[in-house]
Amino acid sequence: EVQLVESGGGLVKPGSSLKLSCVASGFTFSSYGMHWIRQAPKKGLEWIALIYYDSSNKYYADSVKGRFTISRDNSKNTLYLEMNSLRSEDTAMYYCAVTTEAPFDYWGQGVMVTVSS
Amino acid sequence: DIQMTQSPSFLSASVGDRVTLSCKASQNINKYLAWYQQKLGEAPKLLIYNANSLQTGIPSRFSGSGSGTDFTLTISSLQPEDVATYFCLQHNSWPLTFGSGTKLEIK
């Protein structure tokens, strides 16, 4: 059974940093690209980052480019999202997701990030 | 970026009703449209991809249609457990973009 478990969220002040993790199991993590998707409170979904299976390519939404960094450690089956210069508009539930046979066919349960002074 | 517009934003229907949700793309996305169901407090769940392919394990009362810019998700007979917000996603070109959602409730 595919499982994605995020952690690392919390309440932080504007301008600070935070690093999220997503531990994967139930599939060959090192064979698949991984994504981060976020959802602001009572809002829609926003794709924010993709990393290829071998970390050879990384892509970001304009809203986070230059502030967020996606990375992975295939030896630990873990995906990361390092978030710097956080703003109030980054407040959201952050999901990791994978496309194995269909777009975003598996999601984690999400981790909440709140940016507030 | 491709804009995805969903309508209506809110829908109330009775158990057993046939329900139709709409999603329109700002440009041609061929058949590359997916639908997700998100229940309160849960992560989204994939229902349909490539416009009309039913994800494994999803009840057959869910179906999708459309191509190009206009797409539809149909629930043939609404059940109480279908109360949720439904999002569409274009998976034709990067960045992938979601619609703003249709919240479905039981009348």
The rounded distance, in Å, linking the Cα atoms of B41 and A65 is 28
Q: Which two tokens stand for residue A89?
A: 């508009």
List of chain A residues whose C-beta atoms are within 8 Å of the C-beta of residue B30: none
List of chain B residues whose C-beta atoms are within 8 Å of the C-beta of residue A110: 43
| Closest CA–CA distance from residue B66 to any residue of chain A (Å) | 17
**pLDDT for position A39:** 97
Percent of chain B with pLDDT over 90: 99
List of chain B residues whose C-beta atoms are within 8 Å of the C-beta of residue A104: 34, 36, 44, 46, 89
Question: Distance from CA of residue B61 to its chain's centroid?
Answer: 13
CB of A36 within 8 Å of a chain B CB? The answer is: no
**pLDDT for position A57:** 96
Best of A45, A65, A101 to disrupt the B interface (most B CBs within 10 Å) is A45
List of chain A residues whose C-beta atoms are within 8 Å of the C-beta of residue B46: 102-105
The amino acid that residue B1 corresponds to is: D
CB of A5 within 8 Å of a chain B CB? The answer is: no
**pLDDT for position A65:** 97
pLDDT in tens, A97-109: 999 999 999 999 9
| Closest CA–CA distance from residue A47 to any residue of chain B (Å) | 7
Check A110 against B46: CB less than 8 A apart. no
pLDDT in tens, B84-104: 999 999 999 999 999 999 999
pLDDT in tens, B30-77: 999 999 999 999 999 999 999 999 999 999 999 999 999 999 999 999
pLDDT band at A43 (very low <50, low <70, confident <90, very high): confident
Longest dimension (CA), chain B: 38
Give the nearest partner residue to A108 out of B43, B98, B100, using CB atoms. Answer: B43
pLDDT in tens, A44-76: 899 999 999 999 999 999 999 999 999 999 999
E-only strand ranges, B1-107: 4-7, 10-13, 19-25, 33-38, 45-49, 53-54, 62-67, 70-75, 84-90, 97-98, 102-106
| Closest CA–CA distance from residue A108 to any residue of chain B (Å) | 7
Residue B74 exposed, middle or buried by CB count within 10 Å (0-12, 13-18, 19+): middle
List of chain B residues whose C-beta atoms are within 8 Å of the C-beta of residue A61: 95
**Angle, alpha carbons B85-A106-A47 (nearest 5°):** 65
Mean pLDDT (whole number) for A87-94: 97
Check B46 against A109: CB less than 8 A apart. no
Instruction: Note whether A68 and A58 are within 8 A (CB).
Output: no
A42 pLDDT above the threshold of 90: no
Give the nearest partner residue to B55 out of A59, A105, A109, using CB atoms. Answer: A105
| φ/ψ of residue A19, rounded to 5 | -125, 120
Nearest to B87 by CA among B15, B1, B7, B12: B7
